[in-house]
Structure 1
Amino acid sequence: MGLLVYEPVTSSLPADIITPILEQLADRRDLGRCALVNSVFHRAAIPLLYRTLDVKTKRQGYESFIIVHPSKTLLRRPEYAKYVRYVRETATVGFYEPKLISDCRKALRMCINLRSFTWVDDAHDTINDDNFLAYLSILRSLPRVIELIIRTSAGISDEVWSKLTEFTGLHKIAIWCLHGKARVLQGWSEQLGSSLTHLELGRCAGSATVLVLVLSHLPGLKTLRLKGAPSNSIPEILSVLPNLVSLDTEYLGAGRIFNDDQPAASLRELTVRTSSVDLQGPPNLWPWIASLIPRPSLETLKLHTFSTQGDMSMPRMFLLDLAKTHKHTLKHFNVNSVQLTLQDIECLCTMFPNLETVSCSLAWCKDHNDIKNAIANGHNLRSLQLSVHWGRGSFAVRSRFNDEEAKEWMLRENSRLRQVGLGDTLYIGKWVRKPTTDGKTTTLEFEVLRDVVQDSWI
């Protein structure tokens, strides 16, 4: 990204105006350049540069790594430590650069405004707790830590778990372990009931009764992500979490669906992950989803599915039942690997007037004009992304879809569409200001940009 800055202008701008602009920069190198412009930009860029600190690991040779750690900079410029809010540490540092550990700990102690700490340990067969336990001791002395994120392969030992349960007042906990004991906050949830709002558990193997009991101590939860939780336990979990608005879980198969007791939670966002050998999906999948959202509330539905036979299909009756309850609330329908028909898409755009995004697989299409007609009633539709299974002999037709056709879709009457993705090509439309031919004034023009979002097999 090129950055052109004029000193006479920028030197008079207050930092509180520049900061929201610099926050849009995704590349840290651009922030680094901004910090060198002048004193005003420096004051705005430095807090953003040091808001998040991460360890960089670069491979050198077959078994050698170079560790790039921000602790050295903080020890040289301790005044920057007050800007740090998020830190990610990894066990790799202790394995390849043990001499760095002391500096890492010193730097962490200086981060008095730290809010979130992430620990990553990719060792598959051993648990080396000494380093992590030292970090936990430091975190206990920092008054503003409200998030703990732990990702380990070998699991969490009893000693580490005992130290973790000493933390109170946390707002977010995420625990992702491939092996070891399934930690579902046993003995810890009672202390977190008044504060915890975000929970991720990456391994919920074990008793569904224990899981429900643990979560019943956390009535303030708003966001919950579970991996491995028994599907039959999800409705009961929702019944003890009245404030939950976002759920991300797996469907592992459930028995008969009962609708006698409705969940207390009114979900606004639901993400379901599942797989099947059947194109119709696992048995009871669709009534199970419906049982989780029995009242008008759902704004976003996401399905991540896999079928050995191809893209999973969605029953039309599920769409109709969904519309009966969530007609005026649903805004985002993102089911990338689920196959819909043109009639299904037309049904979506007609029955959900507030729909803003649709992302799915399209079962069969002969002409892109058919898609245009199917979305005609989507007056609030802003983004459409389709993986299209084109009909035989339609290559020449679909190859004619270009920037101008995308522009026509976006600018037709009552359309708010600004993003169209067909297969591997993404079209993004926006209004831009351009100078007139005389160079004295400017005019607004609608421009469509094209990009390739993934490799194409065609």
Structure 2
Amino acid sequence: MRPEDIPLDILPLILEHLSDRRDLHNCARLCKSFNRAATPILYRTLDSRIVRTRKYAPAAVLHPARTLLQKPHYAKYVRKVTETGAVGIIEPEAILDCQRALRLCINLETFKWSDDSSDGSCQDHILLEFLKVIQILRVKQLTIRAYGGVSDQVWAKLKEFTGLSAVSLWCMEGQPRIMQGWSERLGDTLTHLELGRCAGVPPSIIVSVLSYLPRLESLRLKGAPSNAILEILTILPNLVTLDTEYLESGVMRYTDKPVASIRELTVRTSSVDVQGPVQLWTWLLRLLPRPSLECFTLNAFSTQGEATCPRQVLIELAKTQTDTLRHVYIDSVQMTLDDVTCLLMKFPNIETLSCSLALCQSPKVIEEAIASAQYLRILRLQTSWVAFHNGLDRCVIPFGTEDARKMMLRKDSQLRVISVGKVLYTGVWVRRELEDGSEQLGFEVLRDVVHDSWL
């Protein structure tokens, strides 16, 4: 089939799976039909890049503004724009072009500002001009990431915005901005909120601010006192996604059951004790009083070694979440194979399990530990092998492609992805052509070595 013969209605659906913009660019140059399908995808998300052609060469700005000014009809495809304060430092004269191009993006939905300079206020005048433009465009999603915080002038302008569905505010220094004086204006529309700096803010103020946002469905807090989280969950009935830290902060002053039914829960914490912070597990269980949890992520680190997860916590959690939990990511705490067996038996519907094993003897014991998992599709393991502890100079991981194949093809297995350390095994069914011209369906396991960030 020639490229021109592919139906135009399905072509964009195919091209959307291309993650590399260079591939989309090549598609846009292939033929007219591919150009019409690829161009809107290419211009849907735009950002600026700072590049150096040589190691010691001066930095240069690559920005789509010039293209949009030359071909303004492309601007109607733009839905998301990311601007960076570095442009104002490297090429100050380019800022006006950026603002002119932004005004053309009449269908813009999302605007993101990023400024990594320690003194963010020096770029605030640039951000202020961008805010004036996107206020006219009436964007729905706004992200501000400024290392040094934002000035009072910028904050005053932000508080004029209404109709937003998602807001994300992140800073490392400067005055914490936790929506005081702004949440009242967004209560009818805001469903997603990220506050990247709540440290030092009294729990009563955080609770007061969030009380104006009853439509919130997703909330991410960094530095918020843990004794405020339970109270927050009693004033946000629609909340289903929570990403927060556990910070030991004294006595829990609120005892009522949360009205929110959390489906996705991410907890980040650290401790000097391998048993984890005091009351962490009790606090976790109190967040989930009824069946609701589908995805659980725990990032718990200890300065004394690998943190552990008490098995009793799994048993207690199963009393309410046994039928709902499907995805578990607990790589930062160590588990035994018996813990894994317990987890999969108590939560029979688990589809994804990512964890760290304290010690493993062979692939066979892993297979035995997951034998009861009928719906498990993805298994990711970080582990130490017994061979390493027997004094060998080099640890040879005894897990290979055939071991992965055996686990994937066991009776009633749905397992198709296994990663052990940095090695990823993916099982796929393929059609093979035989010598007589007929086809045969076969199962192949692909082996790849991947970067840590992909696991």
Query: Into which bin does the TM-score normalised by the smaller protein fall?
Result: over 0.9
In the other structure, the counterpart of 1:30 is 23
1:346 aligns with one of 337, 341, 356: 341
2:399 aligns with one of 401, 405, 415: 401
CA shift, 1:62, in A, is: 4.5
CA shift, 1:193, in A, is: 0.4
- Correspondences of 1:24-423 after superposition (within 5 Å): 24-59=17-52, 62=56, 64-128=58-122, 129-143=124-138, 145-205=139-199, 206-256=201-251, 260-391=255-386, 392-393=389-390, 399-423=397-421
CA shift, 1:426, in A, is: 1.4
Give the partner amino acid of 1:424.
K
Structure 1 residues 410, 257: closer, same or farther in 2, change over 3 A?
Answer: farther
CA shift, 1:434, in A, is: 2.4
Structure 1 residues 181, 195: closer, same or farther in 2, change over 3 A?
Answer: same
Identity of aligned residues (%): 52
Give the partner amino acid of 1:452.
V
* Contact kept? 1:368, 1:398, Cα under 8 Å: no
Most deviating of 241-250 and 257-266: 257-266
In the other structure, the counterpart of 1:3 is none
CA shift, 1:222, in A, is: 0.5
Most deviating of 169-178 and 356-365: 356-365
Task: Give the count of matched residue pairs.
Answer: 446
* Contact kept? 1:255, 1:284, Cα under 8 Å: no
Gaps in structure 2 of 5+ consecutive residues:
none
CA distance in 2, matches of 1:65, 1:252: 41
RMSD: 1.7
* Contact kept? 1:381, 1:415, Cα under 8 Å: yes
Give the partner amino acid of 1:52.
T
In the other structure, the counterpart of 1:20 is 13
CA distance in 1, matches of 2:277, 2:108: 44
CA distance in 1, matches of 2:336, 2:274: 14
Structure 1 residues 292, 446: closer, same or farther in 2, change over 3 A?
Answer: same
CA shift, 1:348, in A, is: 1.1
* Structure 1 position 447 matched with structure 2 position 444: yes
Q: Secondary structure at the match of 1:399?
A: coil
* Contact kept? 1:314, 1:338, Cα under 8 Å: yes
* Contact kept? 1:367, 1:397, Cα under 8 Å: no
Q: Secondary structure at the match of 1:174?
A: strand
